[in-house]
Structure 1
Amino acid sequence: MHLLTDHTETEYLHQLIEGDQQAFTYFYDTFKLPIYRKLLKMVRIETVAEELTQDVFVRIWDKRMLIDPAQSFKSYLYRIAQHILYDFYRKVARDERLQREISLLHITTHDPVSEEVFLKETQNILDQAIASLSDQQRQIFTLCRIEGKSYREVSEILGISVHTISTHMTRASKNIQAFMLRNQHLIWIATILAASFEKNILH
């Protein structure tokens, strides 16, 4: 498509805000590939990066009335891309299949910064999960899992039956797992932020 080359970005932005599809096509053609490449560095799955790129420009069109022509459109566009990326990782936190796929790709593509943050944030969420347990569950879980004592040893320390220890451990493990699943998106977001900051990916 032939586009008028004497229009400034500001003029195109005013036209975009008014719903001009030619102006939208100008920005799409200009920024589609850079946005795609940056998103691909994060998700490492081509089809996902393509979908997220489309989502970015759909949101630009839907929210065009919010664009400020006096501000840098590129910066605005990249902020939208960040929001789309965060939304994607929140979705990942609820989808075990996507979690496995993304995790595998992050492992095979070694990133020391992301890996360190991922492990640190995972431990942080685990600590919160343990802290959320009832007093007795937390005490039993700490003795068994963290200090490595046997159920019989804990039974003798606390003066309760091995069966009771086993019951509390089962409940504690389920509660911790549920807590981790509810908060897993925080781990992904922290990892993304660290990688974005370190590599200047979305700026």
Structure 2
Amino acid sequence: MDNKDCFEKLWVVNLRNGDNKAFRKLFDTYRNDIYTYSYSLVKNSQIAEEIVQEVFLKVWLGRETLNPELSFRAFIFTITRNHTFNFLKKAVNDKKLKDAVFYQSQNLDSSLEDQIYTAEYEILRKKAIDQLPTKRKRIFQMSREEDKSYLDISKELGISVSTVKGQMNKALSSIRTFLTYNSDLTLLVSFLVFQS
């Protein structure tokens, strides 16, 4: 358990006892992540802010039932996901909400399902990459995110091209496995297409 996890656990314990400072620490730690996730779906800053407030209100009201042994991050993202999806379902049937959400979207042609799918995929993809060993993760990021060739990576890291290739194969295999256990088949297929 790293320092962040220790602090988070302590904050949750204190929050259970009504500690406002612990609540503020958790709010400051996760507010931006939650806002970004909600905004990626609703495409409206005001609505995303409201969802953040609703999520933390729910945390505060249910503080006595929090389990410090469980991941607070996972817990709060589940709440955020549920609140955001409930809002989107409501928006589909409400003309004013639909106008606020869908016609202000940067991608007017994408459907609700596409927006949800894209945000879910991005979150899972990041989680899958984050669980890679440090060196393998770096090689993967250099290849996929910095668009460097295997030769460039080998020179920069002082390793052979075959080592880079082997680490990439292992990284892709690990990510496929992660997505298999954490998503549906459609998501896995899209990963195989976009990452190959």
The TM-score with structure 1 as length reference comes to 0.53
2:122 corresponds to which letter in structure 1?
K
Aligned residue number for residue 109 of structure 1 = 107
> Residue 192 and residue 65 in structure 1: after superposition, are their counterparts in 2 closer, same or farther (change >3 A)?
farther
Q: How big is the shift at 1:46?
A: 0.9
Conserved 8 A contact 2:44-2:100: no
2:120 corresponds to which letter in structure 1?
F
CA distance in 1, matches of 2:65, 2:90: 25
Aligned residue number for residue 122 of structure 2 = 199
For 1:1-80, list aligned pairs within 5 A: 8-80=7-79
Conserved 8 A contact 2:31-2:52: yes
CA distance in 1, matches of 2:47, 2:120: 22
- Unaligned runs of 5+ residues in structure 1 are 119-187
Q: How big is the shift at 1:191?
A: 4.2
SS for the counterpart of 1:200 is: helix
Q: How big is the shift at 1:110?
A: 6.0
CA distance in 2, matches of 1:19, 1:68: 14
Q: How big is the shift at 1:193?
A: 4.1
- Unaligned runs of 5+ residues in structure 2 are 128-196
Q: How big is the shift at 1:70?
A: 0.6
SS for the counterpart of 2:69 is: coil
The TM-score with structure 2 as length reference comes to 0.55
Q: Between Structure 1 and Structure 2, whose CA radius of gyration is higher?
A: 1
Deviations 1:14-67 (A, max 9, x none): 111121111101111111122112211211111111111111111111122232
CA distance in 2, matches of 1:192, 1:109: 9
Higher relative contact order (CA 8 A, sep 6+): 1
Aligned-CA RMSD value? 2.5
For 1:154-173, list aligned pairs within 5 A: none
